[in-house]
């Protein structure tokens, strides 16, 4: 079997929703500049049509073979899609089952793309090849990886995009509880530039979360790389009595020594690694003792092939890996093949999954806070052609 074609399909459809899709945005590193800090919710997908409908535009990868087996990957962003054509000549004519060979060839070709959009493209192509491999052998990816270790995975609800107004937070948390989630993660807008008032606002958000969740469910806060060492340490001590499960990505990913300092001084566990790439980048965090939870993204940090290596290295440090929730279908297949202590949870971004899984016939969704691992061939997902209103092939 040989690869004959790599296709990029840009699909357009219409999503119906209640009210504004993005009620609030996360804090960003660039918010240190007042003109950026003053901006409202990012103009992410989807593109608003009216108060209750938005246009979803997604790019999917298809790798075709001379045996009639096709792998499906994505969706990916347009900047990642733009990096994929550089690998077409390298992959065409190759054996798609030889994922280790193909990953290494892509990595060596793209020596200047070890991080960022090019590594994301390698990751997406690798995930697509694993879907193809599963279809070629008529089995699920998690079985090819050595699973199932378990067939059901507990999920936590990430509330990115929801209002931070206390009454609305209470309403959303009650809904999250009713859906059976074991934990929830929130994204405060406040940081060092907000001074004592920012600290009070974060404390108030945490108090509301703990009050609504009660003593037996967890909450986490994600700073999205936009705090600093003194502010994070103050936040950690201020919130310690409320028992957050972790504080996430407090500083920029290259600040490994400050990460480690925070971990040493914080009474609250520190999580990170979402914006780090490959086993080499994640190992630097592990060597420094920077994080007590690692969160590499399967679709960014190197794909299924590389996440298996990252998880193996992390196991030698006894650090759990909870992949960032960009691609739930891939994360679920990966997680089902790893020991339970290594991957205790699956992240489920509530709003993003309405977009990222919009075009799937059978989205991989939690029921009562638990995701049942699909046992269909490959990643277990397929495109619902009925949802496509228009499409085009990208070069």
The mean of the pLDDT values for the chain is 97
What does each C-alpha distance from 37 to 130, 190, 194, 257, 289 come to in angstroms? 40, 10, 11, 26, 31
Residue 65, in any domain of the structure: no
Cβ-contact 99, 274 below 8 angstroms: no
Look at residue 304 in the predicted model and tell me its pLDDT.
98
Residue 244, in any domain of the structure: yes
Residue 36, in any domain of the structure: no
Look at residue 395 in the predicted model and tell me its pLDDT.
82
Looking only at the bridges linking them, the beta strands covering 390-394 and 370-372 are unpaired
Q: Could you report the per-residue pLDDT of 315-358, keeping only the tens digit for each?
A: 999 999 999 998 999 999 999 999 999 999 999 999 999 999 99
Residue 288, in any domain of the structure: yes
Dist CA 4 CA 68 (whole Å):
10
Residue 352, in any domain of the structure: yes
Look at residue 309 in the predicted model and tell me its pLDDT.
98
Look at residue 23 in the predicted model and tell me its pLDDT.
93
Number of domains in the chain: 1
Report whether the peptide linkage leading into residue 107 is cis, meaning its omega lies within 30 degrees of zero: no
Check whether 242 has a pLDDT greater than 90: yes
Residue 275, in any domain of the structure: yes
Dist CA 235 CA 229 (whole Å):
10
Check whether 40 has a pLDDT greater than 90: no
The more confident residue out of 115 and 52 is 115
Look at residue 51 in the predicted model and tell me its pLDDT.
83
Work out the average pLDDT over 228-248. Answer: 98
Domain that residue 309 falls in: 143-382
Q: What is the CATH number of the domain that holds 196?
A: 3.20.20.120
Residue 73, in any domain of the structure: no
Cβ-contact 11, 359 below 8 angstroms: yes
Q: Which residues of 83-122 are buried (b: 16+ CB within 10 A; e: fewer)?
A: bbeebeebbeebebbebeebbebbbeebeebebebbbbbb
Q: Which of 27-41, 224-238, 274-288, 346-360 has the lowest mean pLDDT?
A: 27-41
Listed residue (97, 127, 121, 93) closest to 109, CA to CA: 121
Work out the average pLDDT over 195-220. Answer: 97
Look at residue 19 in the predicted model and tell me its pLDDT.
85
Look at residue 43 in the predicted model and tell me its pLDDT.
67
Work out the average pLDDT over 92-98. Answer: 98
Q: Could you report the per-residue pLDDT of 123-171, keeping only the tens digit for each?
A: 999 999 999 999 999 999 999 999 999 999 999 999 999 999 999 999 9
Look at residue 66 in the predicted model and tell me its pLDDT.
98
Q: Which residues are catalytic?
A: 324
Residue 194, in any domain of the structure: yes
Look at residue 291 in the predicted model and tell me its pLDDT.
97
Look at residue 48 in the predicted model and tell me its pLDDT.
86
Check whether 383 has a pLDDT greater than 80: yes
């Amino acid at each position: 079997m040989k690869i004959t074609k790599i296709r990029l399909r840009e699909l357009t459809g219409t999503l119906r929703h209640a009210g504004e899709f993005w009620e609030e945005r996360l804090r960003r590193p660039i918010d240190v500049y007042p003109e950026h800090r003053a901006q409202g919710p990012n103009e992410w997908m989807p593109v608003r049509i009216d108060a209750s409908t938005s246009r979803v535009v997604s790019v999917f990868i298809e790798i075709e073979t001379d045996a009639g087996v096709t792998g499906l990957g994505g969706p990916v962003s347009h900047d990642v899609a733009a990096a994929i054509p550089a690998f077409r000549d390298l992959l065409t004519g190759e054996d798609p089952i030889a994922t280790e060979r193909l990953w290494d060839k892509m990595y060596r070709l793209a020596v200047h793309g070890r991080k960022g959009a090019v590594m994301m493209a390698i990751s997406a192509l690798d995930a697509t090849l694993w879907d193809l491999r599963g279809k070629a052998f008529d089995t699920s990816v998690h079985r090819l990886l050595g699973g199932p270790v378990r067939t059901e995975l507990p999920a936590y609800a990430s509330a990115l995009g929801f209002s931070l107004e206390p009454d609305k937070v209470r309403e959303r948390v009650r809904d999250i509880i009713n859906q059976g989630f074991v934990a929830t993660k929130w994204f405060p807008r406040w940081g060092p530039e907000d001074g004592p008032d920012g600290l009070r606002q974060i404390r108030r958000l945490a108090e509301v979360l703990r009050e609504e969740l009660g003593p037996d469910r967890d909450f986490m806060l994600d700073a999205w790389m936009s705090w600093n060492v003194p502010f994070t340490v103050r936040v950690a001590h201020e919130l310690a009595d409320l028992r957050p499960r972790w504080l996430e990505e407090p500083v920029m990913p290259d600040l490994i020594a400050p990460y480690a300092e925070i971990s040493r001084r914080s009474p609250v566990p520190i999580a990170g690694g979402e914006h780090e790439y490959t086993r080499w980048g994640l190992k630097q965090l592990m060597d420094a003792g920077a994080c007590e939870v690692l969160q590499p993204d399967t679709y960014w940090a190197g794909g299924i092939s590389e996440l298996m290596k990252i998880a193996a290295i992390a196991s030698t440090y006894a650090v759990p890996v909870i992949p960032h929730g960009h691609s739930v279908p891939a994360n679920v297949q990966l997680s089902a093949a790893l020991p339970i202590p290594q991957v205790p949870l699956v992240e489920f971004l509530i709003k993003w999954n309405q977009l990222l899984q919009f075009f799937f016939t059978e989205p991989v969704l939690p029921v009562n806070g638990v995701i049942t691992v699909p046992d269909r061939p490959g990643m277990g997902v397929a495109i619902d052609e009925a949802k496509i209103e228009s499409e085009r092939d990208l070069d």
